[in-house]
Structure 1
Amino acid sequence: MKILSKYPVLIVLFTVIVLFIFFQCKNDKHAPINQDLSVVKSEIAKTNALFEKQISELLLLVSDNAEEKTIQQKFEDLRITYKKMEWAVEYFLPNSARFINGPALPEIEMDEHTELEPEGLQVLEELFYPYTPQNKNEAVRFLKKLTNKSNTIKVNFQAISVSRDQVFDAVRQEIFRISSLGISGFDTPVSGTFLREMPYSLESVKLTLQQISTQQPQDKVLKNINTAIDSAITVLRKNTDRDRFDYVNFIPAHLNTISSLLLEFKKQENIPDIEVTSALSKNAATFFSKNAFNPNAFVPGKEFAFSDEKAALGKKLFNDNILSNSNNRSCATCHIPEKAFTDGLAKSMSLENAELHRNAPSLNYAGFQHGQFWDMRKDDLEGQSSDVISNKEEMHGDLNLILGKINRDTKYLPEFKKIYKTSKAETWQLQNVLASYIRSLAKFNSNFDEYMRGNRSAMTESQKRGFNLFVGKGQCALCHFIPLFNGTVPPNFKKTEQEVLGTAVNGDNKMFDQDLGRGKFHELVEALQHSFKTPTLRNISKTAPYMHNGGYKTLKEVMNFYNKGGGKGFGFKVENQTLSDTPLQLTDKETDEIIDFMHALDDQ
């Protein structure tokens, strides 16, 4: 006691230090790691410096009239360098990325009804494959533009700060980008060099994870990721032929393995989720995990968030004639569950039993699109439902009158009150419950999904060959993106694409269909004339006839149209056709196998 009383200050100080260490250690499990990420930014800067140097070298080759093969080889080197920093540019500078490696199609400013000239690597690819002296001036012009974009990367990454959770999220997105856009050759549609590029994207993921890891390289989780990436790279380097690559085994055996291991890495490293609503769940191990997709990423606001209660109420109303003016038609009249919520007709019938202008689209997976109807005239399902109800040819309903009936209905009103905590049903609530029901129709339980989840007997050998053709020789996945198989672009799923196919009136392909599609609402935008939303292929075997006009009776007719190169392939003058007019050269057997695969996309 004497000793303690003699040194009271020291004792107090000692106690404070012990307690500080105790609580600091206790909190370490949840505290963010104060790690210097300058090494990550330094690697991006180094890669971008090489990118800029290679642009200059390519510019010199073009200016000096070098041979085609020399120019193509230098261009392929340039693309590989971009792939090494793609994960960072796509995530932190998405607007710039669109003009560095986006599709060689105009960027549409919808509000201004204008087109922005495409530029970047895909535009250059079209100029270099094949390359002729006539392309020289344009190649020089676009290479100079690309130099400016490289400078944008440099300036921005000098200025912005990057966090550990952001870097991990970006790397994870890169794996999903590889698993969808990369594996289909989306950004090398002409040269088809994507299988040679993918190893470099994977190497960059491997390096970046090592840079943000707090563990040693021999740590089990990091070691497993490195082994999985090395294994994938080995397979990729053995076969770079897009028409013969084994996609159906590579995705589940390698890419799904890597994305699953990333979640283990995240858990071990205590990396928090990015607080942003995204279409792909933060806890989805793969693209094909159950409940991988979040429908709330496609709703117009938080109050419209999906719930099972909303969907159940929406289902009742969907099947109730109360929504039509004459009480003799419901939504289910034209969207029949057994036909994947289509009606089986070439064109739906009006209230007066006359043909409408277009085919009834499937409502399955419609919740995972930005743009409803074939012409995408409504942004979301809420807008879509009210448009149909009020259309005088379809249901001729009056939302105010309908709400009056609902608010007097002892069956419906209590449910609206319970869900929305309001005294009566309102217009937006009616729209929301109908939209919620449609959002519930995405089941993700097809044989293809089961196969990708590990059940290797879920698809037949013919269907497996069909998938390989679908991704490879058939180039179907360039527009129908894995895993939604619609035009919503992964891995962010923030945009749904439209395409100009040059569709004919019917499967005879003798007369061009004059429907302007999305162009009707954007008359000054040439790129949108005769354009239509890319729908999902899930449950496609149940939704005949096909195309926006219902003119193609069978999937065989549809495949024949694509095989010949779309409208241009049949001699139609479609200057803005986005579908490649190069014939696919698919045999009858190969066509049948692709169709067989599409049957594997049917929900069970």
Structure 2
Amino acid sequence: MSLTNATGPSIGVEPMVQYFRSGAKDFAASTLTLQSTINLLRKDDTTSVATARTQLKACRLQYKKIEFFLEYFFKTSSLIYNTPAKAEIEEPYMEYNEPVGMQVMEALLYEEDVIANKAALLEQVNVIRSSAEDLLSLLYGFTADDKQVLESVRIELIRVYTLGITGFDAPLLKSGITESYEALNAVKVVLAPYLDKRAPYADSVIYYLDKSLWFLEAGKDFDAFDRLRFLRQYALPLQRTLGYMIRDMQLVLNTTGGVLNYSAEHLFSKDAINIDAFPAAGNEKFKSVETFPLSGIAATPALYKFNSPDAFSSTTATVNGALISLGKKLFHETALSGNNKISCATCHRPEKHFTDGLATSVAFDGHSHVRRNAPSLFYAGFQYGQFWEGRIKSLEEQALDVVHNPFEMNGDAAKVLQLPAYTVLFKQVFPDSTVTAEKVAVAIAAFVRSLNPRNSSFDQYITGDTTALSAAQVRGFNLFMGKAQCGTCHFAPLFNGLVPPLYNLTELEVLGTPKNEDLARPLADTDKGRYDVLNISFYEQAFKTPTVRNVSATGPYMHNGAFTTLENVVEFYNKGGGSGIGLETPAQTLSAAPLQLTKQEVADVTGFMRALEDKLP
């Protein structure tokens, strides 16, 4: 076991390992008890079911004490214990995850006939127990250093803030707040050796860590927990001061491929997630023309105004300014279309938050409609797949697909070769001034990546302006991230399908969205979604989870534009999605259990979503 750093003896590796040894033994013991309670399940014995649920919760709490260690150092091994209770293919890596573990058990324990699931429950608990008994074998030949220890806990903080307090892992047990306490308490134990060294900012870290734990312990009621106060007053300051401490100790390590920016103040800072880490192109023909970095596009406010290069603070940003300005001009260029009448802005109108306000956009012929709704382009760069079914990976490829699609623009991206004005503009950006389709796509994509204003009322509130949200909107955030379960698919801080804490994959969901808005008389939609791209059964009707930022300005909603109001969208979820309203949706990933939201709660949730609307220039 390595206990040294490049700069000398380690501080926290050995204490962390000892903590894991103890926690692993306790977790293994709890799985044995869980196995016993499952064996005792009896028909018509509601007490045995309640006991099994209670013990599952206890088992989960023990797991949360060692979660940071397993998830960081032994990710593959952790999948046995806590994967989602649904068949998944995690993209872009194409890793198939068979449902297994405690989340699967939770779902089985809350079905109507629990006893009918006893064999399946025993199968699950046997796998968990046998694996837990061998946890300590993971330490054979284990090596680590302080940088890894500290990165593991800073990632755990993000996991708590985005998944723990939302109940992502245990929506039926509603144990997310207590689980978050255990996970954060583990962070306190692991940080103790560093804090004892009286490192810079140690006092602040101790203060905010203790306050966060106090607040979690005092607010165990999952539905009533004040998540917004927790984040703003305690959790985010903890993340900020811990970052300062790690920086000043010169122990920064980033193994996230640059997706997470550890120089950001906290999770809700504009630069917390690095847009440069997302697919810039699907193949070398695009990469070959990107002879400059794109850094600074995501973090610079209101870049889509492009009034002058003075908006940028460096030579690189000035180059990007020219590129984005070129992209903006091309975005509005009708010469790219086959009839010289249509541009990207036809269906993505800036004054409508880059949508067109239609259920489905008008097609090239001027009277028919394309298959799906035109989503907002705000924050479109923060994804691993474009279009509703994620069939294309990069914004560059998406731009060319739309331009060349006979039903959309039916054009040729290289047509601007015929326009002398573009020769000068391209020369300002590209060393080789030849206009090609690939360069057109790169410029348009750079413009779209700049559409990240983050200036909504919510953004103002979370960064310090406590007058920016109404009391109803504060309640709405807490519902969104709690009882309403919105935050378990629309993940903070972008509120889209980017899965935390690493934000390294984009989630697709099967909701059973109807063809019409009448929830009492729903009609089945025939659009098969991602199944048309990959013929995998549980991809039927699977669509990408879009951001709900600016959702109040970008209706109609869903992939088919079926819903005209936010209230009806929330009510659809409130009733349990397609299955909940009576549609046959065998692969539905959304729980069919009603959320039991009152009319006031629905109003509060939609009120919060309206607070996510960015102000246009």
- Under a length normalisation based on structure 1, what TM-score does the superposition of the two structures give? 0.88
Task: State the Cα distance separating 1:473 from its structure 2 match.
Answer: 2.1
The SS at the match of 2:614 is coil
**Letter of the 1:70 counterpart:** T
Give 1:200's aligned residue: 182
CA deviation vs aligned residue, 1:455-505 (integer Å, no higher than 9, x gap): 101111121111122122211111111111111111211111111111111
Is 1:371–1:496's contact at 8 Å kept on the other side of the alignment?
yes
Counterpart check, 1:598 vs 2:579: no
Counterpart check, 1:158 vs 2:140: yes
Give 2:527's aligned residue: 515
Task: State the Cα distance separating 1:540 from its structure 2 match.
Answer: 0.6
Select 2:460's aligned residue among 418, 425, 450: 450
Task: State the Cα distance separating 1:148 from its structure 2 match.
Answer: 5.1
Task: State the Cα distance separating 1:109 from its structure 2 match.
Answer: 7.0
The SS at the match of 1:159 is coil
Give 1:565's aligned residue: 576
Q: 1: CA distance between counterparts of 2:237 and 2:162?
A: 15
Q: 1:99 to 1:385 in 2, by over 3 A?
A: farther
**Letter of the 1:127 counterpart:** L
Q: 1: CA distance between counterparts of 2:509 and 2:403?
A: 27
Q: 2: CA distance between counterparts of 1:517 and 1:266?
A: 44
The SS at the match of 2:89 is strand
Moved more, 439-448 or 241-250: 241-250
Map 1:116-515; keep pairs closer than 5 Å.
116-129=97-110, 132-147=114-129, 149-150=131-132, 153-211=135-193, 213=194, 216=196, 221-274=201-254, 277-300=257-280, 305-306=293-294, 307-353=320-366, 354-399=368-413, 401-402=414-415, 405-406=416-417, 409-509=419-519, 510-515=522-527
Q: 1: CA distance between counterparts of 2:34 and 2:256?
A: 40
Structure 1 gap segments, 5+ residues each: 1-29
- Under a length normalisation based on structure 2, what TM-score does the superposition of the two structures give? 0.87
Q: Pairwise CA RMSD of aligned residues?
A: 2.4
Select 2:9's aligned residue among 9, 19, 34: 34
Is 1:58–1:74's contact at 8 Å kept on the other side of the alignment?
yes
Moved more, 563-572 or 43-52: 43-52
Q: 1:208 to 1:457 in 2, by over 3 A?
A: same
Q: 1:219 to 1:415 in 2, by over 3 A?
A: same
CA deviation vs aligned residue, 1:520-579 (integer Å, no higher than 9, x gap): 1222x2211011111000011111111111111111221221121111221111111111
Aligned identity (percent) is: 37
CA deviation vs aligned residue, 1:382-435 (integer Å, no higher than 9, x gap): 221111111001011234x43xx33x5443334434434235244433222211
Moved more, 511-520 or 266-275: 266-275
Is 2:166–2:481's contact at 8 Å kept on the other side of the alignment?
yes
Counterpart check, 1:108 vs 2:89: yes
The SS at the match of 1:125 is helix
Map 1:44-123; keep pairs closer than 5 Å.
44-65=20-41, 67-108=48-89, 116-123=97-104
Is 2:199–2:245's contact at 8 Å kept on the other side of the alignment?
no
Q: 1:148 to 1:419 in 2, by over 3 A?
A: farther
Give 2:543's aligned residue: 532
**Letter of the 1:548 counterpart:** H
Is 1:206–1:225's contact at 8 Å kept on the other side of the alignment?
no
Counterpart check, 1:541 vs 2:552: yes
Q: 1: CA distance between counterparts of 2:582 and 2:344?
A: 39
Q: Which runs of 4+ in 1 moved over 6 A?
A: 109-114
Moved more, 412-421 or 573-582: 412-421
**Letter of the 2:362 counterpart:** M
Q: 1:578 to 1:219 in 2, by over 3 A?
A: same
Structure with larger Rg: 1
Moved more, 573-582 or 285-294: 285-294
Give 1:12's aligned residue: none
Alignment: residue pair count: 568
Structure 2 gap segments, 5+ residues each: 43-47, 282-286, 295-319
Select 1:578's aligned residue among 576, 583, 589: 589
Moved more, 538-547 or 154-163: 154-163
Is 1:32–1:271's contact at 8 Å kept on the other side of the alignment?
no
**Letter of the 2:371 counterpart:** H
